[in-house]
Amino acid sequence: MKNKKTEHNLEDLNQKILVQDEIIALAKANSPRLLNKFRLVYPDFFDKLSAIQPNLKNSELIFCIYLKLNMTTKEIATYIFVTPKAIQNRKNRLRKKLNIPSELDIYKWFNAI
């Protein structure tokens, strides 16, 4: 009985890892499918974001996904073909829009959502 439960939990864990890997691959490829895939897997994330700021554009939501995935400024810049400075500017604008205090680590804020 216990082995069946352990097997089932391992299957669930493997499935989650595969989905997470797929989302990361879509992010790295700057794929237009990223937003929809992430929305399917983590619907609560967008509900919480829209409760804070209902007027986020799709491009801002996608940027939030990169931050939620804990990607660095340099990584994001590489994947979406902009400069790290442009990513810093986007982070700052998003901070203001979502009322994230400047002393709070933006990655910790997104991990808490």
Provide the pLDDT for residue 10.
Answer: 76
Mean pLDDT computed over 1-11: 69
Mean pLDDT computed over 67-76: 96
pLDDT digits (tens, 9 = 90+) for 23-61: 999 999 999 999 999 999 998 999 999 999 999 999 999
Provide the pLDDT for residue 2.
Answer: 54
10 HSE (CA, 13 A, CB side): 6
pLDDT exceeds 90 at position 16: no
Provide the pLDDT for residue 89.
Answer: 97
Q: Which run of H or of E encompasses 52?
A: helix 43-52
pLDDT digits (tens, 9 = 90+) for 78-112: 999 999 999 999 999 999 999 999 999 999 999 99
Average pLDDT over the chain reads: 91
**Count of structural domains within the chain:** 1
pTM of the model: 0.85
- Picking from 37, 6, 1, 4, the residue whose alpha carbon sits closest to that of residue 19 is 37
| Residue 104 structural domain | 2-112
